[in-house]
Chain A
Amino acid sequence: MNLFLQQLVNGLSIGSIYALMAVGYSLVYSIMNFSNFAHGSVIMLGAYFGYYAMTLLGLPFLGGAVAAALGSAGVAIILERLAYKPLRDRRAPFLYFIITAMGASMFIDNSVIATIGPTPKMYPNVFGQGPISIGHIDIGRVDLAMFIISAVALVALILFIDHTKLGKAIQATAYNMKASALMGISPSFVIILVFGIGGGLAGIAGILYGMKYQVFPQIGAITLKSFIAAVFGGLGSLPGALLGALLLGILETFVSGYLSSQYRDLIAFTLLIAMLVIRPSGIMGKNAEDKA
């Protein structure tokens, strides 16, 4: 029982990071209808922004998190303006968006390797040593921070989307961009907004993930997991992405705990393909017939 609870807690902790990534990615998908496959690179940059803010500038953790969020949001918006907007203006085929995103990801990742270098960097330890024990369950300090901060960020996002004018504008645009534009909601503004929010969440995910492990140019690869989570939940659905991410996190820790960590990723990818085959619209996605 204790092992079970311990795994559950670990699963929720890693799942909450996946959720931060998946929700941002899914948010952009809901508006743009394309996967921003450069999301992982934005997360990686967030980890570096946070790292340098805390080591070079000597900011406390919260300062680092803000720097990571703002920096990543900025990068995401710049990426949108420079790379995706020209394609949108030209109504380029969907394939071009994906290829551009892939190119952007390759550019960003390798720029970091070429300038900062591939050596992993350690965050300073700001949360203190040793796990916190509750009953028989140990929770790592970083894991606890991951869970709390992710939860706060996600709740803030949900409140923002459901209860503010801007949030409603995003929902309206996701539902029907043309009609919303006619109602006076500028699609261009909403697009910048979602890239900003998605980037901000990515930055926070980056700093947290960097603290749990280390910072290196390839950590963006972890976003593969957030794509899986988003597909599980249903691409474009925020509650779906959240649920998918938590389920994936829990599943992974249970596979590692009860089977072997070697099979963790393999099972995640196999489940991904199985899910796509059985129910591509995911747990919460709509299964609507396209209007041709």
Chain B
Amino acid sequence: MSVPILELKGLTKRFGGLTAVNDVSFRVEEGGISGLIGPNGAGKTTIFNLITGVYKVSAGDILYKGASIADKEPYKIADLGVTRTFQNIRLFKNLTVLDNVLTASHMSAKYGLAEALFRLPRFRRDEKALREKTMELLSIMGLADRAEVVSNNLPYGLQRRLEITRALALNPKLLLLDEPAAGMNPDETNQLMRLIGEIRGKFKLSVLVIEHHMDLIMGVCEHIHVLNFGCTLADGKPETVANDPKVVDAYLGAEETK
């Protein structure tokens, strides 16, 4: 078996007395789309925060392409090729669409600070290439005609799309999507499903997605991991997981208390 792009091994996170994530292990295969589901408060976003280094791991390990990233700084993890979107969109709100994406592609430029301050040749060359590459990405993602719009003024659906575009600008190998369909209507959700499938192929990505929309999860994911109260409830193919009595129970139980 090949090395998975991401592997969690007994991952645990405690906040004071509260164990938010308890001994969770699963893997994301290279090139796959995996789903992470569970009722509210199950610890899904906490796992994203652990993978991306926002939180420090209490116990267990996170392997990216077989090497531990558990103690790395968030920005270094991003440089390695792991990036994410947020449940409550976090764009650089006052910047244009173009600048949002341009900012995220900063690692593609190699010029140093002195070269920037005095506009040396490499600065000009790199900046030009950066802009071309960014515009290309914007066209692929259907945002080219809005390049100069301040991102805060974009309609909601496009803000989500821009956040994904910004993530893609880093040339990631693993993309973590945190409830990308939140607040979308069925139509937009369908579009998003198609988009996720498309970018996986086009950018040679592996994707891990948190979602509540069961249609989306069942429609795009090849593998699903179910959490409940920070613990693993089930793990497997969509159809197996969907018929697992424990999963059905947790979801129905959650419905009842609502």
Contacts and interface: CB of A to CB of B under 8 A. Distances in A.
Asked whether the complex places CB atoms of A and B closer than 8 A, the reply is: yes
Interface of A: 288-289, 291-292
A289 B49 contact: no
A292 B87 CA distance: 11
Interface in B28-55: 49, 54-55
B15 A292 contact: no
Classify the interface of chain B: helix, strand, loop or mixed: loop
Contacts of A291: 15
Given A289-B55, A291-B15, A292-B55, 6 more contacts: A288-B15, A288-B16, A289-B15, A289-B56, A292-B49, A292-B54
9 contacts: A288-B15, A288-B16, A289-B15, A289-B55, A289-B56, A291-B15, A292-B49, A292-B54, A292-B55
Interface residues of B, number: 6
Contacts of B15: 288-289, 291
Classify the interface of chain A: helix, strand, loop or mixed: loop
Nearest to B86: A292
Nearest to B15: A289
A292 B55 CA distance: 9
A158 B16 CA distance: 28
A264 to B, nearest CB: 39
A54 B56 CA distance: 59
Contacts of A288: 15-16
A109 B54 CA distance: 43
B134 to A, nearest CB: 26
A289 B57 CA distance: 12
Contacts of A289: 15, 55-56
A135 to B, nearest CB: 49
B90 to A, nearest CB: 10
A181 to B, nearest CB: 19
Interface in B151-181: none
The 9 closest A-B pairs by CB, nearest first: A292-B54, A292-B49, A289-B15, A289-B55, A288-B16, A291-B15, A292-B55, A289-B56, A288-B15
A243 to B, nearest CB: 23
Interface in B1-40: 15-16
A292 B56 CA distance: 12
Contacts of B49: 292
Interface string B87-105: 0000000000000000000
